[in-house]
Amino acid sequence: MTKITKDLTYHELVANSIRVLAMDGVQKANSGHPGLPMGAADIATVLWTQFLTFNPIDPLWPNRDRFVLSAGHGSMLLYSLLYLAGFELSLEDIKNFRQWDSITPGHPESHLTPGVETTTGPLGQGVGNAVGMAMAERWLAERYNKPGYDIVNHFTYAIASDGDLMEGVSHEACSLAGHLGLGKLIVLYDDNKITIDGPTSLSYSDDVSGRFEAYGWHTQRVDGHDPMAIETAIRLAKEETTQPSIIACRTHIGYGSPNKQDTSSAHGEPLGDEEIRLTKENLGWPAEPTFYVPDEVAGIMGQVAADGAQRQVEWEELYALYCDAHPDLADEFLQAIEGDLPDGWDDSLTSLFEAGKSMATRASSGAVLNELSMRIPNLIGGSADLTGSNKTRPQGAKHLSRDDFSGRYIHFGIREHGMGSILNGMALHGGIRTFGGTFLVFSDYMRPPIRLAALMGLPVIYVFTHDSIGLGEDGPTHQPVEQLMSLRLIPGLTVIRPAEATETAMAWRAALKNEQGPTALSLTRQGLATFDRTRLAPARMANLGGYVLSDVDDPAAILMASGSEVHIALEAQAQLAGRGIDVRVVSMPSWELFEAQPVEYRESVLPAHIRARVSMEAGVTLGWERYVGGDGIAIGIDRFGASAPFQEIYQNLGLTAEAMVDAVVKLLD
């Protein structure tokens, strides 16, 4: 007969249910990580039953607390909690752990599973996301709350592992969190002293509390299996409103397993049937059936869920009153939360620019951003300490600080990776459209969060300036060569490299219209003449990703390019015309947008019968074969750049109109 064999507290019933579901789920899948869920079950139980405000019926209620499992490999902890709390995640889903098409993949994925706030697994990212969520909460609270109407008022909690805290991104994000005094961010550190390789003493001896004190955090240490101590610590952390908090919870990985607790073998593989039997016995659980959860747990968690639903009802009542008292703000808040843009947000963007005038696309971007910033109140962003270079700061935009969070500009510091991870957190929170800038070459520092933004489908915008050898003297360490193409490789990321000001305006429009994923803008340092759109194709054609910029009757060849090199292609077109060779020039600001067009359109731009094709881009050529075809010539830079005035580098590396002319002549011969 199925029954609990020990006299267990309500807390123990819930915590052990998590342990059992984790063990059995991993065993059934024959892969996964039981150790963390078992070790962190007490922390999570205290948090979820006594503190976390959520409503399983409406997992997207804007004022819910946010919970991030940064150590995503412990996904069964989260799935167990979601199941027990009554989210739309069934026991069947738990049993389908790590199977094709399930909503319980190996690591939590926010776009798949209701109640999963962010996709984690790559370590450190969740911590950064949590910082971003707490920043978003505070910014929204600052903007929308009014006396008596705290419509934005929630906490952000994260569970982080040793691995999360060893990763550099945790340094970047937590240092900024301390600087900004994010009092409603609470990190529970699952201090279990075990990593995959063995005891943390093999590689790690940080005094974590000392480290976080140095960042300006409030720190505590508790026994991670003492519910009272955990409860007290979380309460104290909540009471500390001017600093983020970290609670180091000393836990035992695989807690309850007689032979595997405190060993790295509990980390990432099934415990095995026999050890599960022994563990269940030890926990006071019946050996059979598997996935057994006592009825009391449903009752306990049902009450928690009901409380959460009630909190949402109260919030909705408050919000209704707020709508009466502050109708304009309420409208704006609603629009922001729903991710909509204000009417007319993109009016007259292209009319900002004067044909012929030379302007770096980073400068055009800055001008567009000024306009957008005036029209879109919840567009906020910043730069990783390259504000003046990236032109990311809208005119008159105040920066946010610990003392005044109403600013719309963020000085991220020299923290590209942290910035990327924070941008994801802000986007996940909702209510904000975000952007962040750095040099294109330093997109390498933030590839992991860019990838995750793409996987999650977050509408984050990256402003990557100084996008080629065109940055000149700073030299090869600062000159991107492979970055542009390597960003194009990331599924779901839209990369746009405008050729001049009007294409830049279109690029920003496309970026803001893209609600399904991130967009990377690639912008020049050097000046580029604004196209005369009366002579060339209209600017709106840039929305199609690739378009015939300048055509001729019956072109003998096609020149194609992106960004600054489009100007070289136009010059080559003129030179070729002088020789009696008529060629088409195609501007290719965005491969992703182009490939989203119907095949007929693409064929009209690049007709199959024109096989003489020459491309130019100030980056690696690998990839351009897609468009130049087997017979074409791709001109680019298959080496690192060099330190010199940029015109000389272009000349010396052969990125010239003459090179395009020669290539066309060669192909036509």
Which residues from 331-350 bind its own copies, rule CB under 8 A?
none
Shortest spacing between CB 619 and its own copies, in angstroms: 9
Interface positions, 501-530, toward its own copies (CB under 8 A): none
* Amino acid residing at 534: T
Q: Give, as ranges, the residues between 120 and 159 that touch its own copies (CB under 8 A).
A: 120-123
Smallest gap, in angstroms, from Cβ of residue 442 to its own copies? 7
Site size with its own copies, rule: CB under 8 A: 109
Percent helix / strand / coil, the chain, rounded to 5: 45, 15, 40
529 and 356 Cβ atoms separated by less than 8 Å: yes
User: Residue from 42, 109, 117, 371 that binds its own copies (CB under 8 A)?
Assistant: 109
- Cis-peptide, bond into residue 289, ω within 30° of zero: yes
Shortest distance, CB of residue 302 to its own copies, whole angstroms? Answer: 29
Which range touches its own copies (CB under 8 A), out of 53-61, 270-278, 567-575, 629-637?
Answer: 629-637
Our finding on whether 599 is near its own copies (CB under 8 A) is no
In the range 400-419, which residues lie near its own copies by CB under 8 A? Answer: 401, 411-415, 417-418
- Minimum distance from residue 385 beta carbon to its own copies (Å): 5
* Inter-residue contact 642 to 555 (CB < 8 Å): no
Decide whether 443 or 504 has the Cβ nearer to its own copies: 443
Q: How far apart are CA 501 and CA 228, in angstroms?
A: 61
256 binds its own copies, rule: CB under 8 A = no
User: Which of 170, 373 has the CB closer to its own copies?
Assistant: 170
Which positions from 630 through 649 interact with its own copies, judged by CB under 8 A?
A: 630-631, 638-640, 642-645, 648-649
Nearer to its own copies, 240 or 332 (CB): 240
Q: Does 447 bind its own copies (CB under 8 A)?
A: yes
Residue of 99, 358, 395, 516 interacting with its own copies (CB under 8 A): 99
- Taking CB under 8 A as the binding criterion, the range among 51-59, 137-145, 283-291, 619-627 that sits at the site for its own copies is 619-627
Give whichever of 113 and 251 is closer to its own copies, judged by the CB atom: 113
∠ CA(204), CA(206), CA(211), 5° rounding?
150
Among 184, 466, 478, 497, binds its own copies (CB under 8 A): 478
Cβ closest to its own copies, residue 166 vs residue 318: 166
What is the distance between the alpha carbons of residues 627 and 608, in angstroms, rounded to a whole number? 10
Q: Does 396 bind its own copies (CB under 8 A)?
A: no
The burial of 250, by beta-carbon neighbours within 10 Å (0-12 exposed, 13-18 middle, 19 or more buried), is given as middle
The reply to whether 175 sits near its own copies by the rule CB under 8 A is: yes
Query: Per-residue contact track with its own copies, 34 to 73, x per CB under 8 A?
Result: --------------------------------------x-
Is 179 a residue that touches its own copies (CB under 8 A)? yes
Tracing tokens 């060339």 back to the chain, one arrives at: 536
Q: Which candidate, 582, 503, 587, places its Cα nearest to that of 548?
A: 587
* Binding region for its own copies (CB under 8 A) out of 37-45, 118-126, 248-256, 312-320: 118-126
Shortest gap between Cβ of 653 and its own copies (angstroms)? Answer: 10
Please identify, using beta-carbon distances, which residue of 265 and 550 lies nearer to its own copies: 265
**DSSP-assigned beta bridge partners for residue 558:** 584, 613
Active site residues: 416
Segment lying near its own copies (by CB under 8 A), choices 185-193, 237-245, 319-327, 384-392: 384-392
Amino acid at site 58: D
Cβ nearer to its own copies, comparing 50 with 209: 209
Q: Where are the beta strands (DSSP E) in 234-291?
A: 245-250
Among 48, 67, 189, 215, binds its own copies (CB under 8 A): 215
Q: Which of 102, 279, 468, 573 binds its own copies (CB under 8 A)?
A: 102
In 3D space, the residue among 76, 70, 157 whose CA is nearest the CA of residue 421 turns out to be 70
Residue with Cβ nearer its own copies (1 or 489)? 489
Instruction: Give CA–CA dist 536/550, Å, rounded.
Output: 6
Which residue, 281, 219, 224, 271, is CA-closest to 245? 219
Question: What part of residues 15-34 is at the interface with its own copies (CB under 8 A)?
Answer: 29, 31-32
Cα separation, 502 vs 537, whole angstroms: 11
Closer residue to its own copies (CB): 235 or 639: 639
Q: Which of 58, 240, 482, 571 binds its own copies (CB under 8 A)?
A: 482
**Span of 238-246, 286-294, 378-386, 501-509 interacting with its own copies by CB under 8 A:** 378-386
Q: Dihedral, CA atoms, 13, 19, 20, 24, nearest 10 degrees?
A: 170
Q: Alpha-carbon distance 474 to 58, whole Å? A: 51
DSSP run (H or E) holding 483: helix 483-488
How do strand 547-550 and strand 583-587 relate by DSSP bridges? antiparallel
Q: Which residues lie closer than 8 Å to 109 by C-beta, 6 or more apart? A: 116, 119, 455, 456
The least CB distance from residue 558 to its own copies, in Å, is 13
Residue whose CB is less far from its own copies, 19 or 415: 415
DSSP string, 581-643: --EEEEE-S-HHHHHTS-HHHHHHHS-TT---EEEE-SS--TTTHHHHTTT-EEE---S---S
Nearer residue to its own copies within complex by CB, 101 or 324: 101
Pair 70, 126: CB distance under 8 Å? yes
CA angle 295, 300, 303 (to 5 degrees): 125
Among 146, 622, 654, 666, binds its own copies (CB under 8 A): 622
Choose the stretch contacting its own copies; rule: CB under 8 A; options: 113-121, 335-343, 346-354, 522-530: 113-121
**202 binds its own copies per the rule CB under 8 A:** yes
User: What is the spatial distance between Cα 241 and Cα 245, in angstroms, rounded to a whole number?
Assistant: 9
Q: How many other β-carbons are positioned within 10 Å of the β-carbon of residue 86?
A: 19
